[in-house]
Structure 1
């Protein structure tokens, strides 16, 4: 016999009823406080989301800050150590700074190359040719494939033996230089480690970025190109003086998202496996290893906060630089008005 408290429908009714009561109480409280009916209704309707944010986002966020100042292994109460985790991370951990270097170099190459490639593909898909819908689908497919499946596929392609397709295809080239095929992911060099991951990232981000950039291209007024043609502008002039400025807000968005994604890269390195110890690991994977493999929750939280600070600094730099290269048509209209 199934107990009453194990029935899913009852759980849904209890949660839904509780939220309805909370919304009603908030609505009545706002009305008594002098808030008009329309605003009170809006605040009441968003209150479940706000409570969920406080419970599932803000609390873990602040809790991780506290844990970063403690030693905590899940089985014992956290012990306060102050900034010791950060001191250890910056001055005593031999793996931390190589991991930062590996992550930054990965982002330095993968983000610009992915952005340039996505712009090029979006320009191609923006042409009025037969079968363009099929090509758009093909380019977007990698973005919807499971991360584990794609990582497994690339690990097989970059297998460090002649069985790997990449090495099998490029072996004649290596033979010309009397060199053996590279041992991807195994040789303790940045090149042998970064190149496969950069290629994986390009293959993965093309689809999503291309869709976003293609939408930006569709929003560029055709009258601008027609006016430029009347003035005698060639395709190159149109690209640099119309397409890029008009597309710059979309490029800016994909750049910011790309930087955040590069610093937080996790799935592919985790599924590929252990990298050479001298190179460290990607920050998110290193965080995961410290927190969940070695149960150093406090130290893992400190790495997480460093990663957050790194993303924040890089994002601020991009926002500051955007004033020099991002074009907003509304600003020009405002100045003209």
Structure 2
């Protein structure tokens, strides 16, 4: 056992030195802040968060800025790189045959799945907010998708959509015979790839999204429903005029987070492996250009286009939110 420790000795030493290094940074920061006149408590508080600041700068800010630099270079992992300016972006927009199909597939997937996911999660949460027997058991069951490994779920869907022995085609076989159409090759036919991924996205309705909506529904004041009932409001009127306005900030959160998640789909697409004729999702294209073809400059450019797309759509959602998001105490 100890004979094998030598192979890992350097790694163990570096691992042990990390907390020592972070403590030293915190101590130095505290001393510098005290020297420039900071009070003990604020200086001590900033020193305590300095490990997080170091982690943010090293593992998030530096890679982010470095990828922006790489997007303007012709960089390869083995041969280094040279500055090419906007050539990577020009190649993407005007000469790359895979970029526009990838962008189209990713955006269409997000535009369809996000509304379905938000509305579906809200409807399930409304059902789970009812006072019935064994409601705790049902809530646990509907939360299970949040704890299942994404890779296992992807492989399960791949088997369900199998064109020859998949359960979905077997269940729909009578319908196909009535309509006189062949059983679809879900991941082999480009026309069925997007519908297949949309169906798979229904799995995301359950899990964390339902829990968040369920928590929001329990925070709606009961007195509002009682006042509406006195005025003669029925179920759907209470839903439209009380429930939805009261939880609209949570709906905004779910829309933004769902849109960001949908545009960054990667794991499921990589393990399902649909035909490339339908296009690749943008994160797949980033991986292929960077780690298969080893063109890190092009991969970084695609990643920044995806980042700008997410930023623009997020800003559009927030700009539209005053028209449909209700905040208590805010005048319209």
Shorter-chain TM range is over 0.9
Residue 203 of structure 1 corresponds to 203
Which residue of 161, 167, 170 corresponds with 2:169? 167
| Superposed CA offset, 1:44-92 (max 9, x none) | 1111110111111110001101111111120011111111000000000
Find the counterpart in structure 2 of residue 37 from structure 1.
Answer: 40
Shift of 1:331: 2.4
Partner residue in 1 for 2:214: 214
Aligned-residue offset at 1:22? 1.3
Change (3 A) 1:166 1:18: same
When normalised by structure 2's length, the TM-score is 0.95
State the partner residue of 2:75: 72
Separation in 1, partners of 2:283, 2:155: 19
Maintained 8 Å contact 1:5/1:11: no
Aligned to 1:179: 181
Q: Is the 8 A contact 1:125 1:132 kept in 2?
A: yes
> What is the alpha-carbon distance in structure 2 between the residues aligned to residue 23 and residue 207 of structure 1?
39
Q: Deviations over 1:266-290 (max 9, x none)?
A: 111110114242x211111111111
Q: What 5-or-longer segments of structure 2 have no aligned partner?
A: none
Corresponding residue SS for 1:331:
coil
Equivalent in 120, 124, 138 of residue 123 of structure 2: 120
Following the alignment from structure 2 to structure 1, what is the Cα–Cα distance between the partners of residues 8 and 183? Answer: 61
- How many Å separate the matches in 1 of 2:329 and 2:17? 49
Q: For residues 159-194 of structure 1, give each alpha carbon's deviation from its aligned partner in whole angstroms, at most 9, with x where no partner exists.
A: 112x111111111111112111111011121xx111
Task: Give the Cα separation in 2 of the matches to 1:204 and 1:254.
Answer: 12
Structure 1 residues 136 and 36 mapped into 2: Cα distance closer, same or farther (>3 Å)? same
* Deviation (angstroms), 1:39: 0.8
Structure 2 CA distance for aligned equivalents of residues 18 and 86 of structure 1: 40
Instruction: Say if 2:41 is the partner of 1:48.
Output: no
The partner residue of 1:16 within 11, 14, 19 is 19
Q: Gaps spanning 5+ residues in structure 1: where? A: none
Do residues 108 (structure 1) and 111 (structure 2) align? yes
Change (3 A) 1:155 1:13: closer
How far apart are the structure 2 equivalents of 1:5 and 1:106?
Answer: 45
1:11–1:292: structure 2 CA closer, same or farther, 3 Å change rule? closer
TM-score, with structure 1 as normaliser:
0.94
1:149 aligned to 147, 152, 170, which one? 152
Q: Which residue of 2 aligns with 1:322?
A: 321
Partner residue in 2 for 1:289: 288
